[in-house]
Chain A
Amino acid sequence: MTSTITRPATQAPAAAATETLSTAQAINRALRDALAEDPSVLVLGEDVGALGGVFRVTDGLTAEFGADRCVDTPLAEAGIMGFAVGLAMNGMRPVVEMQFDAFAYPAFEQVVSHVAKMRNRTRGRVELPIVVRVPYAGGIGGVEHHSDSSESYYAHTPGLHVVAPSTPADAYALLREAIASPDPVIFLEPKKLYWSTGEVTPGDTRGPGIGSAVVRREGTDATLIAYGPSVPVALEAAEVAARDGRSLQVVDLRSLVPYDDAAVCAAVESTGRAVVVAEASGFAGFAAEVAARVGERCFHSLAAPVRRVTGLDIPYPPPKLEHLYLPSVDRVLDAVDDLQWEDA
């Protein structure tokens, strides 16, 4: 995939050098830079130490910063999350790794009842600057419980920020911003993009801004709205459509909460048609929220109902069948074909 970030060149600091990194390397660099800059930053999770995490995202951090800064914990996700709450209450900035999306569920009560609510419960007196990194979603042939798209659970919980980068540059910048944020951030890392490479400017901590969507590809006929693992699918669909003479715009949400209504509406109003592409099961999912918001806000600009192309409403399938579950380029193009062009 190509990963370019539409950021004005003037924002890039002159001294920072641009490097080609994979998403996993970009996240690793962001963790390393944050650990080096701020002694209150801690990385903790299962196998994050000597092994460097099952995806090697924390590779070398314990060696460089010691076992007190990059911490292998007991194998207990609720305990890890609750421990992080206490650390954050007492001056630390924990960055928690949940080993896999579906293994984060034991920590759900801590996330919903404490991580998300502590600021509100204490009228802002107790902040929890916690980042929860979750390798998430499918497409890598993972066996059962290794491919869940869990974003809707988190996005449905007030008090959490939820981001899902689709490029190495966003992964670096959003993670630096998440660690610096006084609010808890659920940081969803699309597993299938860990090995995708792109240009990254380490040290540029200003980030794209949690809460801001970005137009990845300009287009005039219809808008594809995607995030995380679905962005490359949308971009490929736009590429194929262009060969057929149809110009598709691609919006990468990258921040689910806060959600960028303004950017999404501006994009949809410019084309008059929209398809939401998301890997999670569609029913009652985040894609439904996007479609509803577009419907509510851009109704008079729409030439056709907003369509969703999502995962099926089934438990995530075994590796040999996952290709039937995942939103494909063909399904996206079929949905685009269905946008009432005959009336245009």
Chain B
Amino acid sequence: MLLGPDGRPTTAGTGTLPPPEDLLRGYASIVAARRYNEQASALVRQGRLAVYPSSFGQEACQVAAAQVLADGDWLFPTYRDTAAVAARGVDPVEALVLLKGDWHSGYDPYERHVAPLATPLATQLPHAVGVAHAARLRGEPTVVLALCGDGATSEGDFHEALNFAAVFSSPVVFLVQNNRYAISVPLSRQTAAPSLAHKGVGYGVPGEQVDGNDLAALLTVLGGAVARARAGEGPQLVEAHTYRMQAHTNADDATRYRSDEEVAAWVGRDPLTRLEAYLRAEGVLDDERAAAVAAEAEELARHTREGINRDVEPDPEDLFRHVYSRPTPQLEEQRALVRDELARDEAASGANVTTDTRQEALR
């Protein structure tokens, strides 16, 4: 921890405070990420998104994960990391396509070097190692930052990924956002280890814990891990202590498994208020600047809202187009079947339209 919950610098952590311009940039991103979370949750209530796993309360982790990477680096997100994906520069509307239901992945992973949102837990982590290893074989300075939650650390793929990264000395930073719950199951049922960062020990991967609601500490710790990975020192594991302020998704009822008091305690550790307090105390942030940042966030929300509210008619041909590089003969047959069905439906509705038009003409 570099900044306490009240926004005052502490001596509890190691490392130095990042320069004010980095923190100010992060502040703007956190304000935007929070507005994005609120907007996406509202879009679920309005029936425009099927589901939204919110990262409300975890925005410092989301923002830091994007901010410490260079353009050529890669980010491997989970379904709860759309704010990080947007912070990395992916169109925030495209980042939500999976959750809207138009298609599975809404963005081109190569455009901003962001892997598709991973829904099965921890399975993206060995992919991250493979991407990093391929880059290293070609002598490229790429670093890969792979995100997962506390629940995912129980999955085999988490352990296999750490082990592969260590054995091949791959430049991967594993960032575990420990938000205390895997849907309803608390951390105590995921592990008996002293910390999740300890899980690196068995693989020879350095592990570090950080206050996940303290952007300053995150930038310092993750920035250091990325720099060391880029310098050839191999993988690192970072456990960020944070809290999922809202339910798992809109379909979840968090009151069944945690108390209001517990949630209230974490409100006091909010990542945004502490950073804002610090920046204002330092004189880096004033009302005018804060208003400009809020206006930018509002613009992002508007863009997101309008994009998601725009109805995109999914192309049924896409069902067959990308299963293989060329459809198999069997898929061609099934495509013809669906085409016929659609043509019949259209003909039927076309007949109705004609009738309507005639009635219109008669008036």
Contacts and interface: CB of A to CB of B under 8 A. Distances in A.
Interface of A: 68, 73-74, 76, 78-79, 81-92, 94, 106, 109-110, 113-114, 117-127, 158-159, 161, 181-183, 211, 257-259, 261-262
Contacts of A119: 322-325
A161 B123 contact: no
B100 to A, nearest CB: 15
A123 B318 contact: yes
Given A113-B120, A122-B109, A124-B321, A82 B329 contact: no
Interface residues of B, number: 39
Contact of B126 (A68, A78, A88): A78
A79 B157 contact: yes
Contacts of A106: 156
Contact of A86 (B126, B324, B325): B126
Q: Mostly helix, strand, loop or mixed at chain B's interface?
A: helix
Given A79-B157, A83-B164, A261 B330 contact: yes
B125 interface: yes
B103 interface: yes
B163 A86 contact: no
Contacts of A109: 120, 123, 157
24 contacts: A73-B167, A74-B160, A74-B167, A78-B126, A78-B160, A79-B157, A79-B164, A85-B126, A85-B130, A91-B134, A94-B130, A113-B120, A117-B104, A119-B323, A120-B323, A123-B318, A124-B322, A125-B108, A125-B109, A127-B325, A181-B325, A183-B324, A183-B325, A258-B324
B323 A84 contact: no
Given A121-B116, A122-B108, A158-B323, A89 B328 contact: no
Contacts of A126: 109-110, 116
A86 to B, nearest CB: 2
B133 interface: yes
A161 B330 CA distance: 13
A82 B127 contact: yes
B182 interface: no
A262 B330 CA distance: 11
B227 interface: no
B329 A86 contact: no
B137 interface: yes
Contact of B104 (A76, A85, A120): A120
A159 B322 CA distance: 9
B128 interface: yes
Contacts of A161: 324
A343 B322 CA distance: 48
A121 B126 contact: no
Choose among B163, B324, B325 the residue with the greatest number of A CB atoms under 10 Å from its CB: B324
A235 B116 CA distance: 48
A6 B134 CA distance: 40
B161 interface: yes
Given A113-B123, A120-B104, A258-B328, A90 B131 contact: yes
